[in-house]
A and B are shown apart, each in its own frame.
Chain A
């Protein structure tokens, strides 16, 4: 019975403002650092092979890490998401409130 397989980076990945792109296995996705001053990541995103791009992902960690979860339909990812779902819900309601302020 097979449930899950992973493709992991073998060596450490080191990124900075000059070396700002990490290409995933077989070029399937890219992690791109858009703005980094050496202390805080102001902007970064993920791209897929077709050029689709996420928005800026720096918000939740306030630029202190690039930890990531993509795709709620993947059970591996959703288990992690469920641990932080209530916090994310509260953050998003706060953001909606900010955005709808007249």
Chain B
């Protein structure tokens, strides 16, 4: 697992421009599945990068060959699945982190590492004539482990020739009415009216620029999220609508409902072999809690009970048709034989490989 000292990993690099291209191949699949709330297509891919011929041998460096599995932003609790080497797994849970860097200078076409240094913040473009007069506009991108860029670019500029919209200058519009204006019209000065932003955002990701110059940019602060771990289940979930005293069995565990409230349920999870039992109140399920679900890790935990070794997960099935609470009973799902994957972690079934989320 340790980085190979003899040869650096080929992370954050793309295949050669003259690489072999195979549009479709039976063994690298696309699979359409149904979750509780949507139909999703999962696609596999195969990439080789940085291969070379040296001393009569063909060499692929560490991380130079990767199998990739792509999902359309899968969420937990909603029955989404993950395709891995042709097999579908239930996407059970995940944990995340936020990587932050502050006060860094990034030169034109250069990048700076952040987090565990497997990703870089790159100043991909520094355009001087973008507005028709020479003033620098910077476009940052996040270069990921796969060699791809994060889907959104981050354009920033700071110049006294621009109005920085973070001042709120355009918050209520310019005050102009619908129509056509000329530079000579009274009160018009639009030929020198240019806007830019010193802040660029995409959801949780944000970049704040201190200064953009023709040579590079000073970043005041940049932050972006990533996965730290995920739990998958190779089995179909055991799903049931159960009342007090009723049981659900699977994965060497028995789940039981001990009490049901208007928007909560007390549950007990017992290991069949050891007899060890774990209890929790799942819920309460309120409109406020649902606002940031299912991504809100802390609130999501209110609907989940796992044994300490993360072998099984019992969850209030809030996204399945019919809802979590039905006539004094609760809808549960028991996810079994959980597999935990880190960022990165060895791929246990074949230790020649490392698993790594590319987010």
Interface check A11, CB cutoff 8 A? yes
* Contact yes or no, B73 A41, CB < 8 A: no
A70/B63 contact (C-beta < 8 A), A6-B68, A6-B358, A7-B353 known: no
Contacting B28 at CB < 8 Å: which of A12, A26, A40, A48? A48
The closest CB in chain B to the CB of A79 belongs to B148
The closest CB in chain A to the CB of B7 belongs to A12
The closest CB in chain A to the CB of B54 belongs to A14
* Contact yes or no, A88 B146, CB < 8 A: no
Q: Which of A5, A9, A46, A72 has the most CB of B within 10 A?
A: A5
Contact size range, B: 35 or more
Interfacial chain A residues near B25, Cβ < 8 Å: 46, 48, 52, 54, 70-71
Interfacial chain A residues near B64, Cβ < 8 Å: 8-9, 12-13
Once bound together, how far apart are the Cα atoms of A18 and B152, in whole Å? 45
The closest CB in chain A to the CB of B56 belongs to A38
The closest CB in chain A to the CB of B349 belongs to A26
Interface check B112, CB cutoff 8 A? no
Contacting A71 at CB < 8 Å: which of B6, B30, B63, B350? B30
* Contact yes or no, A74 B14, CB < 8 A: no
* Contact yes or no, A28 B86, CB < 8 A: yes
Contacting B23 at CB < 8 Å: which of A13, A58, A72? A72
* Contact yes or no, B60 A66, CB < 8 A: yes
* Contact yes or no, A69 B15, CB < 8 A: yes
Chain B contacts with A in 115-164, Cβ cutoff 8 A: 145-149
Residue-wise interface mask of A (49-64) relative to B, using a CB-CB cutoff of 8 A (1 in contact, 0 not):
1101010011111101
Once bound together, how far apart are the Cα atoms of A60 and B69, in whole Å? 25
Number of A residues contacting the other chain (C-beta, 8 Å)?
A: 63
Contacting B68 at CB < 8 Å: which of A5, A11, A31, A57? A5
* A interface secondary structure, majority: mixed
Interface check B57, CB cutoff 8 A? yes
| A26 shortest CB reach to chain B, Å | 5
Once bound together, how far apart are the Cα atoms of A94 and B145, in whole Å? 35
Once bound together, how far apart are the Cα atoms of A24 and B25, in whole Å? 15
Once bound together, how far apart are the Cα atoms of A26 and B53, in whole Å? 26
* Contact yes or no, B28 A70, CB < 8 A: yes
Q: Which of B25, B60, B74, B359 has the most CB of A within 10 A?
A: B60
Interface check B71, CB cutoff 8 A? yes
Interfacial chain B residues near A54, Cβ < 8 Å: 20, 22, 25
Given contacts A8-B66, A13-B59, A16-B56, 11 further A-B contacts (CB under 8 A): A4-B71, A6-B67, A6-B69, A22-B65, A29-B27, A33-B58, A52-B25, A60-B18, A66-B48, A67-B16, A77-B47
Closest 3 CB pairs of A and B: A48-B27, A74-B45, A67-B19
23 contacts between A and B (CB under 8 A): A3-B74, A4-B68, A5-B82, A6-B356, A8-B354, A10-B4, A10-B346, A10-B353, A12-B60, A12-B61, A13-B64, A25-B349, A26-B85, A31-B65, A62-B18, A64-B18, A66-B60, A68-B15, A69-B19, A69-B47, A71-B44, A74-B43, A76-B68
